[in-house]
Amino acid sequence: MSIAATRQMSRLDMVKTFARGIGLNPEEILTREATSEAHRTYVTEHEREDSEIRTLSLAVKELIRKELLSEVSRSESVSIHA
C-alpha cells in the first residue's frame, strides 16, 4: 500500500485555476495589473498574494457580470420578438 503526499493548493492557485476554467488568462491579467501599478511595492509575500487574489477575483466577477448582462439582453430580445 502506498500513500502519496497530497499538496494543498494555495488560495492564489485555486483562484488562478478557476479563472482558467472560465476562459480567463490569469498571468495576462496579473501582468497587466502589475504594469499599470508599477509603483506598487509589497512588504510581504502574503500582501502580494492577497493583491493578486483580489485582482483575479475582480476579473472573474467582471466576466460573470458581462455574461449575465449578455444573457439578459438576449432574453429580452427574444421576448420582444415573440
Residue 80 has pLDDT above 80, yes or no: no
How far is 42 from 52, CA to CA, in rounded Å? 11
Residue 82 has pLDDT above 60, yes or no: no
Task: Output the CA–CA distances (angstroms, integers) from residue 46 to 21, 42, 43, 51, in the order listed.
Answer: 24, 9, 9, 9
Write down the pTM of the prediction.
0.79
pLDDT digits (tens, 9 = 90+) for 6-30: 678 999 999 999 999 999 999 999 9
pLDDT digits (tens, 9 = 90+) for 40-74: 888 999 999 999 999 999 999 999 999 999 998 88
